[in-house]
Amino acid sequence: MGVYVYCIKDDHRYQSSVKGSEFENEWFRLAKDGTVIIKGTHYKGYAWDGCSPKIKIKDVYFGIMEGVLNFDTGYSKTYYASLIHDVFYQFSKEILSSVRRKDVDREFYTILKRDNFSFAFLYYLAVRLFGWVFWYT
């Protein structure tokens, strides 16, 4: 098992700016118009670690902090940005030929700004500098 912080049990639909590519597997669908569907109804739901990297020691997580509560959504301010970013990175090997990492990182930044996360640029800079380690692994 991985280090999971979040899990969705319902499908999540998001209109991204990552357009022109198609991909689908049991967890993730990307349509040419940029529509992303993360399939939370598959198996026990789609789980991810939030903002990476993290390690778990017993029941405590150490690593990049999640944002404070976004009262509009009821989730962390980094919740949706990390969801979209993580699913693209998780399947980067399969979509490498048609999706660029910088576009996925820009989407992460756009969602952080949309959700009024104060450290949006700092987190974006971190994924631009270190995301290559996790892209296509």
Tell me the percentage of the chain whose pLDDT exceeds 70. Answer: 98
Average pLDDT, the chain: 92
- On the 0-12 / 13-18 / 19+ scale of CB atoms within 10 A, 112 is buried
For residue range 95-118, what is the model confidence (pLDDT) as tens digits?
877 899 999 999 999 999 999 999
Beta bridge partners of 27: none
pLDDT at position 2, please? 67
**Stated pTM of the model:** 0.91
Instruction: Scan for tokens 């949006």, then name that residue.
Output: 120
